[in-house]
Every structure is written in C-alpha cells, then in structure tokens.
Amino acid sequence: MTGDVEEWLREKGEKVFKKIGIKKGYLVLDFGCGSGNYAIPAAKVVGKEGKVYALDKDETKLNKLTERAKSAGLENIEEIKTSGELMIPLKDKSVDVVLLYDVLHVYYFSQSEREQLLKEVYRVLKPNSLLSVYPKHMGLDEVKEEIERVSFRLESKHFKTLIHEDRYTEGYILNFRKVDKEQKLGE
Ligand SMILES: C[S@@+](CC[C@H](N)C(=O)[O-])C[C@H]1O[C@@H](n2cnc3c(N)ncnc32)[C@H](O)[C@@H]1O
C-alpha cells in the first residue's frame, strides 16, 4: 500500500465522503469497488447502523478488501462477487447512495451497457437519493449527459484530492439526484 493510500484510508477519505453527503446509517452500494479505496472510508462514515455493499467481479481485489476491512476493524461491509453482469443483486429502492468511482467508462462498458447499468442503479436507489460518480477516462460533459438521460439530475460538483491507481490525484466528483419518473412526467 502506498503512503497516499494509507493516509486516505486512515483519515482523508472519510472527510471527503462527509463533505459530499454520505451520512451515518446510510446503505451504500460501491459498484466496482476494487480493493476498497472508497468502500473502506464509506463504511467508516455510515458506521454500525449503516452498511456498504461492495460489489466487484474481481475476486483478488475483493480478497484484498476483506483484509483491509479486517485490519480497520470494520464489520459493516458486505462483499458481493459477481461475474460482471449488469444486474445488481439488490432489491428495488433499497440503498441511499450508489458510488460509481472510476468504473463507468469506456474501458469496461459500451454505451448501451452503461445505459443498462445506470437503469439498474436507478432501480436500486431509494426515491430522491444520491448517485455519486468519479468519472475517469471519459469527459465530464459526456458522463453528465449519459447519466441525466436515465432520470438523474446533476446536483453538485466537487473538486477534490482523490485516490486513483494508489496515488493522490485531483479530480471531480459529480453528485446526481434520482428524479422520480412520475414526478418528472407531472412537471
Ligand atoms: C479502475 S477500478 C476502480 C476501483 C475502485 N472503484 C477505485 O476507484 O479505487 C474498476 C473496478 O471495477 C470493476 N468492474 C469493472 N466492470 C465490472 C462489472 N461489470 N461488474 C463488477 N465490477 C466491475 C473492476 O473489477 C475493478 O475492480
């Protein structure tokens, strides 16, 4: 683990998540969590009353996350190992926040797959809840356009020091609010 990651997991990550709106008691889905650079600090913020569903298709990365969670004394991370399918094994309207951090991009998904994934994210989020995205390998405007097409509205943009590939880097987090489709029709 690099010094940047150590510091991030120890203190900085939590501060960023509190700023962007994650709260104690929340249920958070970290889709494409990798080894937990974001799942770990999110679990610290939501605390014992909350939970982080850490979903990934890569077993080796999930094993690393297990080790990190153990050494941080965290028991509120539920790992979900998938085969890469876009269906999320969670109930409709069951989570408060979905994180798509460095995963919603051209390396992993075609445009139609990204749309399918975003529809799944919409399905599992509670009404009016938060989709938080750390876009990489795609332009911010392109990401915004694709996400807003699936009934989300960009609510805020946060320029932060974040972890990317085990080093600090600066980048934007985009927060989207789930728009109730019935409400949208009635507007
Ligand atoms: C670049 S890493 C980012 C990891 C973490 N979110 C972070 O920012 O540190 C992307 C992760 O998404 C996972 N991933 C990509 N496509 C996926 C899919 N279809 N289902 C589940 N996980 C996927 C990869 O296995 C990888 O761990």
Domain boundaries, the chain: 3-186
Tell me: pLDDT of 21 over 70.
yes
Which 3-state string (H, E, C) describes the chain?
Answer: CCHHHHHHHHHHHHHHHHHHCCCCCCEEEEECCCCCCCHHHHHHHHCCCCEEEEEECCHHHHHHHHHHHHHCCCCCEEEEECCCCCCCCCCCCCEEEEEEECCCCCCCCCHHHHHHHHHHHHHHEEEEEEEEEECCCCCHHHHHHHHHCCCEEEEEEEEEEEEECCEEEEEEEEEEEECCHHHHHHC
Indicate the pLDDT class of residue 184, thresholds 50, 70 and 90: low
Write the residue with the smallest CA distance to atom 4 of ligand 1. Answer: 34
For residue 63, pLDDT beyond 80: yes
Is the per-residue pLDDT at 54 higher than 90?
yes
How many angstroms separate the alpha carbon of residue 38 from the centre of ligand 1?
Answer: 11
CB-ligand 1 contact for 4 (6 Å cutoff): no
Q: In the predicted model, is pLDDT for residue 42 greater than 80?
A: yes
pTM as predicted: 0.96
CATH number of 3-186: 3.40.50.150
| Mean pLDDT of the region 74-92 | 98
The best mutation among 56, 79, 87, 112 to test binding of ligand 1, ranked by most ligand atoms within 8 Å of the C-beta, falls on 56
Q: What is the mean pLDDT of residues 129-145?
A: 95
pLDDT (mean) for 37-44: 98
